[in-house]
Amino acid sequence: MAAAIWFLIALSVYIAGPCNGGVTSYYVRKSSPSVDMPIEHFPPPSGHNVPEQVHITQGDHDGRSVIVSWVTPRKAHSHVVKHWAADKCNHKHKTHASTTTYTYHKYKSGFIHHATIKRLEYDTKYFYEVGHGHETRQFFFTTPPKEGPDVPYTFGIIGDLGQTYDSNSTLEHYMSNPKGQAVLFLGDLSYADHYAYHDNRRWDVWGRFVEKSTAYQPWIWTAGNHELDYGPEFGEPVPFKSYMHRYHVPYKASKSTSPLWYSIKRASAYVIVLSSYSAYGTYTPQYNWLQEELPKVNRSETPWLIILVHSPWYNSNNYHFKEGESMRVMFEPWLVHYKVDMVLSGHVHSYERSERVSNVKYNITDGLCTPVKDPSAPIYLTLGDGGNIEGLANSFTEPQPSYSAFREASFGHATLEIKNRTHAYYTWHRNHDNEPVAADSLWIHNRIWYPEEED
């Protein structure tokens, strides 16, 4: 009896184990496989050519444009989006979309439309509709407030979502939080490549599955390894083909040469998206772009500098351990120099939060190859815990390294509530708790305006 009571206590209380680092949670998620929801659970909308898979993202650098994307299954002509401010329903505006299709192995896509609605007012609710005649569908979104150092804003953070029953739990859990205004998505969307010949029907299913969120608030996209869809053995040698056709981002607004790396400003945050699976060595396009991008960030205007990248740079899970090491070596000195606040990544299917550490003193002769506390370094957050079909990564390295503050093998999501230029409140929520319960939380201090150590 006493042993059973102790076991229940251990499931609900965090205890620091005998290690060099922080806390490895003793919460134990029920061990069961993650199973994809059947395709039949997400049929297309009824009708001949009804728009589906509707999703939006930011359409410019400053937040006054929105890219609206949707798919029509049979005809291309439904390529206009109408929009109007909520308080001006008699003033409807039309925007024409570009339309594309693609084939992948034996799959042929529907007609994929992308329309950029421009010159929107800040902090305004808009309605929009896509489709034609009786096959029209209507949605809404709210633009961000004008950028400024003390503008509050709340981001949801999700990675490696997939389309399992656990994925559905994660998405429903996030959507139950009314504070979320936009999602920072850390890569690995549909996991279509889990199936034979990368069954691209699973891209359609994923678009229908997430539409309940993506049609109403912008998701800021990062490409992961499961977006590569690289299949030369069956005649598909072009990487990112499906992803690039379906998910457009405003990369040209930040003078990027590729949609796989770009930046946006939103409220008081400056968000930089990087690509783990594109060349980043010296003088490559991504390297050159980031080198020119970081000095442009005006921390008096957007004090919070956040980087999204799929593969973690600091991670103490045996799963994908040190896969991001070469990219870290390449770019970490820049991030420390420019005092990046946090780096968000996915890829590892568990949750981990780091201390503020860096490993920038190492060279091939000094032997200083251990991360050390660094007040100018970002916090590294690994959130590949969306619930995809590959399941949990539940094998952590032991002992827990000094750079690791908290880690747990569970599915969940996070939120980042930026309060002002000095403070943001970060919370991580496991799926098995009610959403208001934070399994991990931290008041984060801005590196420029309040560079004090977090508690």
Q: Hunting for tokens 């006054």 — which residue is that?
A: 64
| Distances, alpha carbon 147 to alpha carbons 29, 62, 183, 301, in Å | 40, 8, 17, 7
Retrieve residue 36's tokens: 């994809």
Report the catalytic residues.
320
For residue 220, CA distances in Å to 48, 63, 145, 151, 302 come to: 31, 12, 17, 19, 17
Q: How far apart are CA 185 and CA 252, in angstroms?
A: 20
Task: Please count the other Cβ atoms lying within 10 Å of the Cβ belonging to residue 304.
Answer: 29
Point out which residues pair with 84 in neighbouring strands. 127
Rounded Cα distance, 315 and 322, in Å: 7
Write the Ramachandran bin of 335: left for phi over 0, alpha for psi from -120 to 50, otherwise beta: alpha
C-beta atoms surrounding 286 within 10 Å: 21
Task: Give the angle 204-249-173 at the CA atoms, nearest 5°.
Answer: 55
Amino acid 414 reads: A
Residues β-bridged to residue 408: 351
Beta-sheet pairing, 304-308 with 269-273: parallel
- Helix 165-175 × helix 201-214 angle, to 10°: 20
Local structure of 423: helix, strand or coil:
strand
Helix residue ranges per DSSP H, 273-324: 285-293
Q: For residue 15, count other CB atoms closer than 10 A to its CB.
A: 10
- Contacting residues for 37 by C-beta, under 8 A, at least 6 apart: 163, 164, 165, 167, 168, 205, 209
> How far apart, in whole angstroms, are the C-alpha atoms of residue 166 and residue 411?
7
Closest CA to 289 of 331, 334, 256: 256
SS3 425: strand
Strands 153-158 and 182-185: parallel
* Residue 238: exposure state from Cβ atoms within 10 A (0-12, 13-18, ≥19): middle
